[in-house]
């Protein structure tokens, strides 16, 4: 299923979330339609059929009936889908980027002065419906300056080109802008089974946010959320991140076990990362919400010791060129390495085509030797920006792909995504 939704100015985040979740869960195994949505601009929004593969989890709040006023009941919904292996189930939350019980009711309706707008984001969900339920991402406080970053603010005031939504049984991807007008790609996606996920019976699922902002403020590690258990660890603002929740394992004999919560982000100023992907903390599973925090912030254990260097392949494949170096574009000497000269690829007959770069992630060898292939399962790729407009389509074989820029107005490799439509 692929939808391009427009929300008029003043549409509350709870209303946006309700429509998005209703759309995705209404076509679990049937053809998608906009007919049941309440808050979209119907004259501008479109949908391409196909089923989503996602349904509401039994512990999720139910979707309010048509005409019900927005409230904390619209703050989050937990979705589930079968993995490609069919014997594993993954869970994802689509949620307001604020406190679910208090902040949602007021700020979601725009009553707090000076608030650009509460956005929505996605998270992995561990142990849904149990005492140790945990959301992997999202701001759970009440600061106005933080509720509209690391998320999408879907109204045309910010997401002026609408919100692009892709859902099938392997992934949910959403493309729009945050409260600062920064382009954001939210993703919750399945990756190919690895020796670790197979042996340890882990769900091969990641959660991520990609922007092309090269700077950030706030603290330096990825965020983990628990609405009722004060699971908030720390956060980063205005920078992309990649998260694993009970999806990888440490075989380090001094740090052994399932990694319950961890994440990486791009960081340019730490002695251990040299301008690459950085993991500031991790916890291990121990049948509690927070997990075992012992050694969680110790270098070489919970904190990454050998974070990717400047230009590292997996950081580039997810975070893109501006995250790595603002000089890597088509106007300088870096062009030969990452610029427009690499926008083309050649097949075995010498025919010219579009160069696709796989989205993947490398787990620290101190834990295991896995390379997580996300593109191969979830079917989206990094490509050069500036080749067309957002929403343009490209047909490859019998499949249609949608082209979305992350850095509008620039021409450089890795500045856009190509996403299979259905």
Question: pLDDT tens for residues 158-174?
Answer: 999 999 999 999 999 99
CA distance 106 to 414: 39
pLDDT band at 217 (very low <50, low <70, confident <90, very high): very low
Cβ proximity of 182 and 213 under 8 Å:
yes
The mean of the pLDDT values for the chain is 84
Q: What average pLDDT score do residues 19-46 get?
A: 96
pLDDT band at 274 (very low <50, low <70, confident <90, very high): very low
CA distance 46 to 164: 10
Comparing 76-80, 136-140, 341-345, 390-394, the range with the smallest average pLDDT is 341-345
Comparing 12-16, 74-78, 375-379, the range with the smallest average pLDDT is 12-16
Cβ proximity of 92 and 83 under 8 Å:
no
Question: Looking at residue 384, what is its pLDDT?
Answer: 83
Instruction: Identify the residue with better confidence: 38 or 233.
Output: 38
pLDDT at 156 over 80: yes
Please enumerate in sequence order all residues whose Cβ is within 8 A of that of 3, keeping only pairs 6 or more positions apart, or say none. 23, 32, 34, 45, 46, 47, 48, 164, 165
Please enumerate in sequence order all residues whose Cβ is within 8 A of that of 349, keeping only pairs 6 or more positions apart, or say none. none
Instruction: Identify the residue with better confidence: 341 or 373.
Output: 373
Question: Of how many residues is the chain composed?
Answer: 422
Question: Which residue in 54, 162, 150, 93 sits closest to 402, CA to CA?
Answer: 162
Question: Looking at residue 234, what is its pLDDT?
Answer: 47
Is the Cα torsion angle 326, 329, 335, 339 positive or negative in sign?
positive
SS3 165: strand
pLDDT band at 106 (very low <50, low <70, confident <90, very high): low
pLDDT band at 269 (very low <50, low <70, confident <90, very high): low
CA distance 123 to 206: 9
Cβ proximity of 245 and 124 under 8 Å:
yes
CA distance 257 to 202: 12
């Amino acid at each position: 299923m692929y939808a391009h939704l427009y929300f008029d100015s003043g549409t509350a985040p709870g209303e946006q979330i309700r429509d998005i979740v209703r759309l995705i869960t209404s076509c679990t195994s049937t053809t998608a339609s906009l007919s049941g949505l309440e808050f979209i601009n119907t004259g501008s929004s479109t949908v391409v059929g196909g089923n989503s593969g996602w349904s509401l989890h039994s512990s999720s709040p139910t979707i309010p009936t048509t005409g019900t006023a927005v409230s904390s009941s619209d703050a989050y919904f937990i979705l589930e889908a079968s993995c490609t292996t069919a014997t594993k189930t993954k869970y994802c939350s689509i949620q307001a980027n604020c406190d679910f019980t208090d902040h949602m009711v007021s700020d979601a309706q725009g009553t707090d002065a000076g608030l650009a707008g509460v956005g929505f984001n996605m998270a992995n969900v561990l142990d849904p419906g149990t005492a140790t339920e945990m959301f992997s991402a999202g701001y759970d406080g009440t600061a106005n300056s933080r509720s509209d970053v690391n998320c999408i603010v879907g109204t045309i005031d910010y997401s002026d080109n609408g919100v692009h939504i892709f859902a099938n049984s392997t992934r949910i991807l959403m493309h729009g802008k945050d409260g600062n007008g920064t382009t954001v790609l939210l993703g919750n996606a399945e990756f190919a089974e690895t020796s670790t996920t197979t042996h340890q019976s882990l769900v091969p699922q990641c959660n991520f946010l990609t922007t092309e902002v090269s700077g950030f403020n706030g603290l330096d590690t990825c965020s983990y959320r628990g609405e009722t258990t004060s699971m908030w660890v720390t956060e980063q603002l205005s920078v992309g991140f990649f998260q694993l929740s009970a999806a990888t394992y440490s075989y380090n004999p001094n740090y052994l076990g399932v990694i319950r919560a961890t994440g990486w982000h791009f960081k340019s100023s730490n002695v251990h990362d040299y301008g690459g992907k950085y993991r500031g903390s991790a916890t291990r599973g121990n049948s509690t919400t927070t997990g075992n925090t012992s050694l969680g912030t110790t270098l070489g254990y919970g904190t990454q010791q050998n974070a990717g260097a400047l230009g590292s392949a997996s950081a580039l494949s997810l975070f893109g060129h501006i995250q790595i170096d603002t000089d890597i574009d088509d106007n300088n000497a870096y062009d030969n390495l990452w610029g427009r000269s690499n926008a083309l690829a050649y097949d075995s007959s010498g025919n010219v085509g579009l160069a696709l770069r796989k989205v993947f992630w490398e787990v620290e060898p101190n834990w295991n030797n896995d390379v997580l292939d996300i593109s191969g399962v979830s079917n989206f790729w990094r490509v050069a920006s500036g080749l067309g407009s957002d929403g343009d389509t490209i047909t490859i074989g019998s499949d249609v792909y949608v082209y979305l820029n992350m850095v509008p107005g620039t021409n450089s490799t890795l500045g856009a995504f190509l996403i299979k439509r259905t």
